[in-house]
Amino acid sequence: MYFMFTAKQYQQKLLEKIQKIYSQTPISEITKQAYWAMPRHLFVKRYFDRQSRKWHNVNRWNSIWHLSEFYRDTTITLLIEDEERFVSTISQPSLVLYMLDLLQLKPGHKVFELGAGSGWNAAMISHIVGSEGHVYSLEIIPEVAKMASWAIDRLKIKNVSVINADGGEGYPAGAPYDRAIFAAGIYDLPCYFYEQIEEGGLLLMVIKNPGGWDNLFLLRKTESCFTSLESMSCGFVPVTGKYQLESLNPINIETIPEWKDLQHQEVSRMPFWWGWKGTASLNWKTMGIRSFLGITEPNFCTFKSENNEPSQPDKYFGLWEREHNSLVLAKDDFLIAYGSSVAKEHLLQKIREWVDLGMPCAANFKLKVYPIDIPLTANKNQWIVKRKDSQFLWSLK
């Protein structure tokens, strides 16, 4: 006999899977209630299937055929730019519920959200904060904001405002906020949030790292800064708009003027396997060291070079010490030095430092985020990274 799961059954199976993932830190009852109250499939009008590479329109008559996709523990792609770059997604459900728990939401809270996406996250938050609370969800992409508003209006949710604007500037009309959540990765903490978040309030933000990968940090607002409470590695689409940063993308090595001569000045080629053997990509093998170098080493760079498939360029990393005309590349299980050995010796010294410190990645650091104009001094095992609006004090203690 042919049998098809109902939406409730799919919801239940996904929740059971999520509960197994977080068996050591169970998802709270209030978050589970929000999950049940706001079924994920009601927030998808159109999505991109990454396997078939096709777009699907969803309506009340055909939604049942897509339930198995909506209740997998994976992201759902809502918008693609240039046929390659995902610019709006519904995040992985297990991570979404975990993030809701991290926010410690209470009835009556006012919440700021950067990146509305489908509206699913804002809707679940609205269920927790109740009629006395409110969610202000800012979405910079008009098409995505329209989709989120459609879902919120369709479900007659009254305590969510979807605003088509650049969330990087906050939303002073709704401030001050008890909680704020960034649903897109950002490289800086915009200055506006020092004023718009209540002292003692929580900010859950995704911090982009030059070494690749993102890091989710839960921060508490104090009088002078934001201080980290929890952290983990993750992956999110980047912000667009005023705080978009293209320099996080790998540098095309052919665009470095010195490379024309340096590529003919190889001085050494040293085998280096990063502790792995086999087909694992350099990206996976070096996640920890790249994350560490992105915080502690100003000369660290990620690179790419074109191959026979321009849509999938070769990617690697290294140190570029322009003052010494010295470059080292970690590529194809080798450390390749060009110009001189200065950059290679520096990289080896940083690798030894990383090992001595316990091989940390960014999520292992304690973090304090200050306005850019506050005088700061780094002590032992501390590093200050300055951005446009904020400075990040990373600590290993």
DSSP state of 213: S
Average pLDDT score, the chain: 92
Give Cα separations from 362 to 94, 238, 296, 346, 381 (angstroms): 21, 17, 10, 20, 13
Out of 91, 94, 228, 291, pick the active-site residue.
91
Measured distance CA(314)–CA(329) in Å, rounded: 12
- Token duo for residue 85: 């770059």
Which residue's structure tokens are 């430092």? 353
Say if 374 falls within a structural domain.
Answer: no
* pLDDT value of position 228: 98
Displacement of CA 8 from its chain's centroid (Å):
30
Q: Helix, strand, or coil here: 235? A: coil
Do 370 and 390 form a contact (C-beta atoms < 8 A)? yes
Residues 50 and 190 in one domain: yes
Given 234, 266, 297, the domain boundary residue is 234
Q: Which of 36-45, 199-208, 306-315, 372-381 has the lowest mean pLDDT?
A: 306-315
- Token duo for residue 317: 């990393």
Say if 101 falls within a structural domain.
Answer: yes
pLDDT bracket for residue 82 (50, 70, 90): low
Say if 381 falls within a structural domain.
Answer: no
Measured distance CA(397)–CA(389) in Å, rounded: 26
Say if 146 falls within a structural domain.
Answer: yes
How much is the average pLDDT of 379-386?
96
Check pLDDT > 90 for residue 202: yes
Residues 225 and 279 in one domain: no
How much is the average pLDDT of 118-135?
98
* pLDDT value of position 1: 31
How much is the average pLDDT of 29-51?
94
For residue 228, give the amino acid letter: S
Say if 368 falls within a structural domain.
Answer: no
pLDDT above 90 covers a percentage of the chain that reads 75
Spell out the residues 6+ positions from residue 92 whose beta carbon is closer than 8 angstroms to its own: 73, 74, 75
The pTM of this model reads: 0.91
Residues 197 and 266 in one domain: no
How much is the average pLDDT of 156-161?
98
Residues 185 and 49 in one domain: yes
How much is the average pLDDT of 71-96?
83
Say if 394 falls within a structural domain.
Answer: no
Residues 193 and 335 in one domain: no
Which residue, 394, 395, 255, is CA-closest to 320? 255
How much is the average pLDDT of 145-174?
97
Spell out the residues 6+ positions from residue 89 whose beta carbon is closer than 8 angstroms to its own: 75, 76, 77, 78, 117, 237
Check pLDDT > 50 for residue 26: yes
Do 204 and 216 form a contact (C-beta atoms < 8 A)? yes
Residues 256 and 181 in one domain: no
Which regions of 235-387 does DSSP assign to beta strands (E)? 251-252, 266-271, 300-305, 314-321, 326-331, 334-338, 366-371, 382-386
Which regions of 71-186 does DSSP assign to beta strands (E)? 76-81, 85-90, 110-114, 134-139, 160-164, 177-186
- Token duo for residue 194: 């020092």
Q: Is 91 a catalytic residue?
A: yes
* pLDDT value of position 85: 62
Check pLDDT > 80 for residue 380: yes
Do 196 and 177 form a contact (C-beta atoms < 8 A)? yes
| Domain tally, the chain | 2
* pLDDT value of position 72: 94
Say if 85 falls within a structural domain.
Answer: yes
Say if 372 falls within a structural domain.
Answer: no
Measured distance CA(96)–CA(34) in Å, rounded: 12
Domain that holds residue 94: 7-234
pLDDT bracket for residue 50 (50, 70, 90): confident
Give 253-291 pLDDT, tens digit per residue: 999 999 999 999 999 999 998 887 765 677 888 989 999
* pLDDT value of position 3: 41
* pLDDT value of position 83: 58
Give 213-240 pLDDT, tens digit per residue: 789 999 999 999 999 999 998 888 888 8
Angle at 87 between CA 85 and CA 91, to 5 degrees: 115
Residues 30 and 104 in one domain: yes
